[in-house]
Amino acid sequence: MMNRRSVLKRAIYWIICLFGSLVAGASFSLYPFGLPRKTTRYLPVLPLEEAPRKGVKTVLIPFTVGDKRYERRAFLVATDGSLMALSSQCTHLGCLVNWDANRKEFLCPCHGGRYDVLGRPISGPPPAPLAVLPLKVEGDMIHVGVRI
């Protein structure tokens, strides 16, 4: 024979189970299963002969996704015989940083973040270095990897 207390416990248990099932179902319905995953595409940005031998050069990376055309900005940095590509997005809030050739620093106009020539934060709010983008040379062209 069940008393009032055990009936109440079971009712609360089933209400919690039902609520949990509803929350789980809603979570899965909101998850973007059908969205395509981003992949890295290497896009040509500059002939090898125009690459900086020392210092920083700003490059624009045009690409299309479906019918829409986009353009991202990046920096080619040449130091000690090596070449690397840096993202132009500040790691603080995503503003676009600029190269200041006089100060030899990347400057963020939004909150005063400063990075050295290798993209490491010097001062201000940036919590991490600028992202290093994948780079490869094919033939006489420099290609930079962009996540699309």
pLDDT tens, 6-54? 888 888 999 998 998 888 777 776 766 666 677 888 999 999 999 998 9
What are 84-105's pLDDT values in tens digits? 999 999 999 999 999 999 999 9
Would you say the pTM of this structure is higher than 0.85? no
- Distance (Å) of CA 59 to CA 62, 64, 68, 136: 10, 17, 20, 15
The predicted pLDDT at position 32 comes to 67
Which DSSP category does 96 fall into? B
DSSP state of 129: P
Separation CA 42–CA 85 (nearest Å): 12
In the chain, the amino acid numbered 120 is R
pLDDT greater at residue 59 or residue 148: 59
Calculate the CA 129 to chain-centre distance. 12
Instruction: Give the span between the Cα atoms of 12 and 139, in whole angstroms.
Output: 69
Instruction: Report residue 1's pLDDT band, with 50, 70 and 90 as the boundaries.
Output: low
